[in-house]
Amino acid sequence: MRTLETLLEQGVTGRRVLVRADLNVPLDGDRITDDGRIRGVLPTLTALRDAGAKLVVCAHLGRPKGAPDAKYSLAPVAVRLSELLGTTVGFATDTVGTDAERALSALGDGGVVLLENLRFNPGETSKDDAERLDFATKLAEGNDFYVDDAFGAVHRKHASVYDVATLLPHYAGKLITTEVSVLKRLTESPQRPYTVVLGGAKVSDKLAVIANLLDKVDRLLIGGGMMFTFLAAQGHDVGTSLLESDQIDTCKGFLDEAAKRGVELVLPSDTITAAQFSAEAEPETVAVDAIPSDRMGLDIGPETAARFAVEIGKSKTVFWNGPMGVFEFSAFADGTRTVARALVDSDAFTVVGGGDSAAAVRTLGLPEDGFGHISTGGGASLEYLEGKTLPGLSILESQ
């Protein structure tokens, strides 16, 4: 895989570089509530600017239906990117249309233009190869090089991720290089004991990664909404908690397979319940074999959180993906906070697997530099750990 450093060595002064960034940030109206993904691409953009390149940045936000939608505009991102880069970032109100042409024609050395949301164009996400390539050709036109630094999108075979790289000399940005290095460390040479902590809502979202990890890890800690399907597989009544009934047999299979392989699969012993899904709900801690039929579990309990912290403390490598509970509600945030704090206090190489886990770290006010690595791509990280081929990485590895 050719890296940004290789591109910089050959010189980019006055050359136009198309950078695919992951700027898919959460918005509250026009207010960005977490700018972590914007900050993630800054090292690549800064290096290219300092080398005198003309930067054309493209990205997506949300899931518009292949047409312009004001609530998914990248305009607020352009404002924040300007602040973080310390320079005015031009903004084109389209991607490959007349306003993009206007903005790019005025682009000088070291200048930056952000194009409007890629997904306003149906060709970006099309399943039709020809339609996708047609859009990629328009996107690539006039650019000398392509740099992909959108790790959060490399598992998608989209025009800006895959097809553009078939048209231009292509390079991996600093963020992607780092992410791949970390994931190789997790999959090829982890220091042991190796513990994986999985949470989040659904077992079905993580079936493949659990199956693939069972012959790689020493210990698997299960929390979040997904824990209730595992508990049901053990014969427990989980009340009104989130439950995927069609996955109970699969969870039974995982429990059996873990036992056969000598993997310690640790499930919660207690949970914090509520009568309804609400920030104002009165919390009650109960054992997992005593969940009332009219209550739902919204977090792991304190006994479980303490056990998980001990197991993390005994580990040399820890990968965490998915919150332990509804951390957005203060009464149900302690499980996630305890796990995250245990990672910070650990001497292990600790990796936070993006998405909601990264958001939890920031929401709960934990120091980001206390973790070995915080990934910007939850879905991409999981698919890599599943052993899948990621289109955005496979094309970067081609010459």
Q: Are 379 and 146 in contact (CB under 8 A)?
A: no
379 is catalytic: yes
202 is catalytic: yes
37 is catalytic: yes
**354 is annotated as contributing to ligand binding:** yes
* β 145-148/284-287 pair status: unpaired
Task: Give alpha helix (H) positions in the chain.
Answer: 4-10, 36-50, 75-85, 98-105, 122-125, 129-140, 174-188, 207-213, 227-233, 248-261, 302-313, 334-345, 355-363, 378-386, 391-397
Phi, psi of 71 (to 5 degrees): -70, -10
In sequence order, the 6+-apart residues with CB closer than 8 A to the CB of 28 are none
Phi, psi of 358 (to 5 degrees): -65, -40
Of 355, 377, 378, 392, the active-site residue reads: 355
**357 is annotated as contributing to ligand binding:** yes
* β 219-222/264-266 pair status: parallel
127 is catalytic: no
In sequence order, the 6+-apart residues with CB closer than 8 A to the CB of 10 are none
Phi, psi of 213 (to 5 degrees): -80, -20
**Burial grade of 207 (CB within 10 A; 0-12, 13-18, 19 or more):** middle
Dig out the tokens for 248 from the structure: 């109970």
Q: Are 190 and 350 in contact (CB under 8 A)?
A: no
Question: Could you give the angle at which helices 355-363 and 378-386 cross, rounded to 10 degrees?
Answer: 130
* Rounded Cα distance, 129 and 107, in Å: 31
**62 is annotated as contributing to ligand binding:** yes
**206 is annotated as contributing to ligand binding:** yes
**80 is annotated as contributing to ligand binding:** no
Q: Are 228 and 242 in contact (CB under 8 A)?
A: yes
**356 is annotated as contributing to ligand binding:** yes
**Distances from the Cα of 294 to the Cα of 19, 200, 238, 283, 329, angstroms:** 51, 22, 9, 13, 20
**63 is annotated as contributing to ligand binding:** yes
**37 is annotated as contributing to ligand binding:** yes
* Rounded Cα distance, 151 and 4, in Å: 14
Residue-wise over 123-133: b if at least 16 C-beta within 10 A, else e? bbbbeeeebbb
Of 39, 102, 202, 216, the active-site residue reads: 202
Of 224, 353, 377, 379, the active-site residue reads: 379
**313 is annotated as contributing to ligand binding:** no
**328 is annotated as contributing to ligand binding:** yes
Dig out the tokens for 259 from the structure: 């036992």
**61 is annotated as contributing to ligand binding:** yes
Residue ranges of the annotated binding site for (2R)-3-phosphoglycerate are 37, 119, 156
Residue ranges of the annotated binding site for substrate are 22-24, 37, 60-63, 119, 156
Residue ranges of the annotated binding site for ATP are 206, 297, 328, 354-357
Q: Which positions are catalytic?
A: 37, 202, 355, 379
